[in-house]
Every structure is written in structure tokens, then in C-alpha cells.
Chain A
Amino acid sequence: MIELRFGTCLGALDLDVDVTLPSRGVSAIFGRSGAGKSSLINAVAGIVRPSRGRIAVGDRVFFDADAGIDLAIEARGVGYVFQDARLFPHLSVSGNLRYGLKRARGPRPVDWESVIDVLGLAHLLDRRPHHLSGGERQRVALGRALLRQPDLLLMDEPLASLDAPRKAEVLPYIERLAQEFALPVLYVSHSIEEVTRLADHLVIVSEGRTVASGELADIMSRPEHSPLIGRYEAGSVLDCTVLQHNDDYALTTLRFTDGQLRVPRIDLEPGCAVRVRIRARDVALALSRPMDVSIVNKLPGRVIGITPREGPYADVAVDLGSSSLRALVTRESCDRLGLQPGTAVWVMVKSVALDSRSVGFNRRPRPDAAQAPPAAD
């Protein structure tokens, strides 16, 4: 387990952190800019010193105000990927990658070849950082942090300084490395899109405080967190598997526990696991099975709860059996349809609303992760 229970005052920001994170998988630290996300992971790295509390990763205590423990940055064994890459300009790519590797103590589970391979760095090794594109620079920074043989990987908005095409270039690498190298990752981001694609665990930070922490799908499905995620981005997350492709129409059918979803074609083999984020505003509701509509994604369910929002909106949670979906509709529609907890409804999701930005690729089935031997903590 990763125990983060600390506080400190940083200028106008009062940081108050109290979360326990799983020691495997990606934990996203999500919040608006200025919420204290970076300060949080800087405290884990040892760059910011809290005034009270305790930081421990597994059985290693990084900081304990009461016991007077404050490990030096270099002794914490964390890898840190900064927003601005921070490659050493006087060293080649290879020199940058070796910098941490040379200083790593103990066993070296992350080997050179697999990092070069996973991050596609072979053709860059002799180049200097100023001859790299932004995306390449960030990939080298990722490799450098991994080769340092960390027990924990910290990433501070590694995609924020990149333009959209570069983001799309680097994101799959991050998705892969989280799986290839069994490392816990703390991933700071203000983009719910990145968070849904990468994270297993979600921590929401608001005004310096950790206000929510839990499994991604669970936190995302709770309407009380919508204001923090943003009305237009809030929604649900479904874990699906690729069932089949329809090449004539360039569509892919996904299967999940409570039915099927048709989405624009994604290039993955049938059987691959994917994660789909369905924004609440892309979901419509009907009382009877809609027949003459263009929408093919129609799922029967039952209303669990209705949360009125500011203005005309209402957030409706619908139980589909073993999963749930959220719909953002108007309060007027709720009343017109007479929706209340228990009402049987049909949920409709437009296929075109589920573009590649909503679908996380490269996800493997989770069950084997659950059966893996417990990490040394």
C-alpha cells in the first residue's frame, strides 16, 4: 500500500492529503490546475517537505514527522517524469538514459533492451536532447525514469506540454509501460480523458485537499463528484472486450457484462480488453424501447437516483444489472417522463459519441492481475 497522510502550507495553498493507494496499477491524481496535485507528488518525491504526517510506500517510510524521518530525494527510489522532460542537455539520449541506471542500487528488474524496445528509442540513442521533438523528449524522460529502477513512478502531467498529435503519440507508450513494468504509478493530470484511459484508481484533489479516492469506475459514477470533474466531461467508465468488427461500416462491437456497444472501428483484435468512457451528456433516456431511432446502443435498465444540478440539468444514474451508466438530461425531461428511483428505462448512447478519445486501447483483461502474487508490501 502507498500511504499518503500529510499536510503543509505552501503559500496560499493549504495541502491536506489523506489517501491510501494500491501498490500496483496507475493511480491518477486529478484536479484543476492549482489544486495542489503537483505539490502532492513533489512531497512523495521529497522535493516538497510536509510539515506534518507520514508518507510510506510499502514498508519503506519516506517521511514521518513524528519519528523525524525525511529521506533524501535520491534515497527514495522514485522515478519522476516531469511535465517539461528535463533532459540533461550536455548528455546524449543514451547518456540521459544511463544517468539513473548507473546510480541504481540493488536488483535491476527493468532492463535496457525492454525499455528501448517499449519506448521505441533505438534510433534516438546517439542524438542530443535539443535535436528531439517534444514527444521524443518525453519518451526519453520516461525511459530514464524507468531505468532508474524505481519502486514507484511519479508523472506530473507528462503530456500537458505537448500538442494533440504528440499527445496521441506518447499516450500509448504510457499505457504500455504501466503494464509491461509492474510498477505503481502516480499520474497527475487535469485531463479526464487521459485519466480514464490510464488509471485504475482515481484521487480527486480540490483546493489542496484529497476529496475522493477509489476505483476509477466507482468514483466516476458518483454524481457528487461531477462538479469536480466538470459537467461536460463527467460520465461513466465501462470495461469491455472487443467482440467483432464490421469492416463495411467501419464499426466495432464491444461486449461488456450487461450487453453490447457499437463504436467507430478500433484497431484491436477481438478478445482485447478496452475501457470506454461514456460522458453523461452523450446518454439519452426513454421509457419504452425506442424503435425508429438512429441510435443502435440501446440498453434496458432501472433508475437508481436523480441528482438535480445547477440550471436545467439533472444527473440520472441508471443500473444496467452489474454496471451503471449516468445520463445528463434536463430536469424538465425528468418530470415529463416521471422518472424516479425504480423507473424502468432504456438507455441510448450514440455510437459517434464514442470516438477514439473515449476508448482506452491496449488494456489487457484484468483477472490475471488480481491473481498475481501480492507485491512485497
Chain B
Amino acid sequence: MSDIELDALLLSLRVGLASTALCLPFALGVAWLLSRTRLPGRALLDGIVHAPLVLPPVVIGYLLLISLGTRAPLGAWLKSTFGIQLIFTTEGVVVAAAVMAFPLMVRAIRLSLDGVDRGLELAARTLGASRIDVLCTITLPMMLPGILSGAMMAFAASLGEFGATITFASNIEGETRTLPLAIYTATQTPDGDAIALRLVGLSMALAVAAIILSEWLNRRTQRWLGRP
């Protein structure tokens, strides 16, 4: 494996992990709002969360650019307060990937939350557990298969993110050039076919590994919960 491939692979893995970690707390919160509350703006929230699934990724990237770019108020504030610059940085790639992967994770988690037997939660309360105690000891463990599969999906989607990333964070080697961007760059380079093919092979191996791991985790947790 050459440096180009290794760099792209490691960057992609880092981005995938960071984006999944960034999504998780927000996805849990949003899934809770959508599944368990009668919030007035629920339908709107649902729509906004799912927008990245139906909009072209370029649109999302452009929206991120005009809201989080250095000259946009929010982006300027981030830079002046925390010293965080998103465009042209790995952090920007993570944000773009997270936004694109977010609806997938919310869907999986929400589905698992809908499936949690409220009767078990009530039983736990009659056994002396407070609401927060029930959440930690009953609800979250029961949601584990959904959380894991949501995380795997978000990770996989983050690895493959292209449109929003290239629009928002640009294509800078070692900084924002993840696997898909590296493949794209290779195809645009004369004699880049060999590199492109090796990168494609790498991507496929990664995808297969993710699917196998996801299936295995799912089966283990389902069995742990006594489901066939």
C-alpha cells in the first residue's frame, strides 16, 4: 500500500469514527423527541433531520458552506471563540459526514426506541427505579441493537460521503481527501487507474468488513435480549 492509499484509508477511518461519535448523542436526543414526546414542531424536526437523505449532497455541502464558512456569522463565531475552522479541515469533513449520516442513525435508533416495551419500563418503576434510572438500566440496554446498527450505518455512510465533503471541506491531500475523494482525484489524473482500482478494492473490503461486523454485533445483542 502506498502512502496515498494509507493516508486516505486512515483519514477515512478517523472521519468515520469521529462522525459517528458526533452523531450519537444528538441522534439519541432527536430519536427521543420524535418517539416519546408530543412536541408541537415534531413533523418539522422530522423533515429537517431527514433532509440530507432526499437533497443532493452538493446542496447540503453548499448550505454548510454558507452557514459555517469563515465569513458566515456562525463560522466566524466558531473560529473566534473556539479557534475551530471547518472549511479546508478534517473537522469540516467530520461535520459534513455527520450531517449526511445523521438521518440514518436517527431512523435506526428511533425504530428501536419505538420497539421498547413500555410495560418493562413501568415494571422497573414499580421496583423503585426513577425515570433516569429506568432510561439507563432498561431503555438503553433494550435499544442496544438499534443503537449499534445505527452507529454502523452512520460509520459506513461517513466513509462513503463525497458530495457534501468536497463542496464544504474541499479536496486537500492529508487533510480532507478521504477514500472517495482520493478515488475521484485518481480518476482525474493521467495514469491514475491503478491507484483508483486499488482504492476501490480497499473501499469494498472496508464495506464488506463493516457489514460482517454489523451482522455479528446485531446477532449477539439480539440473542442477549432473548430474541430469536
Q: CB within 8 Å of B: which residues of A? A: 45-47, 72-74, 77-80, 82, 84, 86, 88-90, 99-100, 103-105, 128-130, 144-145, 148
Contacts and interface: CB of A to CB of B under 8 A. Distances in A.
Contact of A82 (B119, B130, B137, B227): B119
Nearest to B226: A130
16 contacts: A46-B125, A74-B130, A80-B126, A82-B119, A82-B123, A86-B120, A86-B123, A88-B124, A89-B226, A90-B141, A90-B142, A90-B226, A103-B127, A103-B129, A105-B128, A148-B126
A332 B175 CA distance: 101
Contacts of B128: 74, 77, 100, 103-105, 148
A90 B142 CA distance: 7
A268 B2 CA distance: 85
Contact of A88 (B120, B130, B133): B120
A144 B128 CA distance: 11
A144 B226 contact: no
B48 interface: no
Contact of B119 (A78, A86, A99, A100): A86
Contacts of B226: 89-90, 128-130
B224 interface: yes
User: Do most interface residues of chain B lie in helix, strand or loop, or is the interface mixed?
Assistant: helix
A293 B103 CA distance: 82
Nearest to A105: B128
B225 interface: yes
A144 B225 contact: no
Interface string B126-167: 111110010001100110000000000000000000000000
B126 A79 contact: yes
B119 A74 contact: no
Contact of A99 (B117, B127, B142, B224): B127
A148 B127 contact: yes
A99 B124 contact: yes
Interface of B: 117, 119-120, 122-130, 133, 137-138, 141-142, 224-227
Contacts of A128: 226
A105 B127 CA distance: 11
Contact of A47 (B120, B122, B130): B122
Contacts of A99: 124, 127, 129, 137
A336 to B, nearest CB: 56
A74 B225 contact: no
A82 B125 CA distance: 13
A84 B128 CA distance: 19
A171 to B, nearest CB: 22
Contacts of B127: 74, 79, 99-100, 103, 144-145, 148
Nearest to A95: B137
A78 B126 CA distance: 7
Given A88-B120, A103-B127, 19 more contacts: A72-B130, A73-B126, A74-B128, A74-B133, A77-B128, A79-B126, A88-B123, A88-B138, A89-B227, A90-B141, A90-B142, A90-B224, A99-B129, A99-B137, A100-B127, A103-B129, A129-B226, A145-B126, A145-B127
A69 B165 CA distance: 56
A129 B226 CA distance: 8
A47 B125 CA distance: 9
Nearest to B228: A130
A159 B127 CA distance: 20
A72 B124 CA distance: 13
A82 B126 CA distance: 11
B92 to A, nearest CB: 39
Contacts of B129: 74, 99, 103
Contacts of B227: 89
Contacts of B130: 72, 74
A130 B138 CA distance: 16
Contacts of A72: 125, 130
Q: Which of A73, A78, A130 has the most CB of B within 10 A?
A: A73
A82 B123 CA distance: 8
Nearest to A102: B128
Contact of B225 (A89, A145, A148): A89
A259 B130 CA distance: 55
> 7 closest Cβ contacts across the A-B interface?
A130-B226, A103-B128, A100-B127, A80-B126, A89-B226, A73-B125, A86-B123
B125 A74 contact: yes
A84 B225 contact: no
A364 to B, nearest CB: 29
A73 B122 contact: yes
Q: Which of A80, A88, A128 has the most CB of B within 10 A?
A: A88
Contacts of A46: 125
A47 B123 CA distance: 10
Contacts of B119: 82, 84, 86
Nearest to A45: B126
A46 B125 CA distance: 10
A129 B224 CA distance: 11
A74 B141 contact: no
A105 B126 CA distance: 13
Nearest to A89: B226
Contacts of A105: 128
Q: Which of A89, A104, A144 has the most CB of B within 10 A?
A: A89
Contacts of A47: 122, 126
A45 to B, nearest CB: 6
Contacts of B141: 90
A115 B117 CA distance: 27
Nearest to B126: A80
A80 B129 CA distance: 13
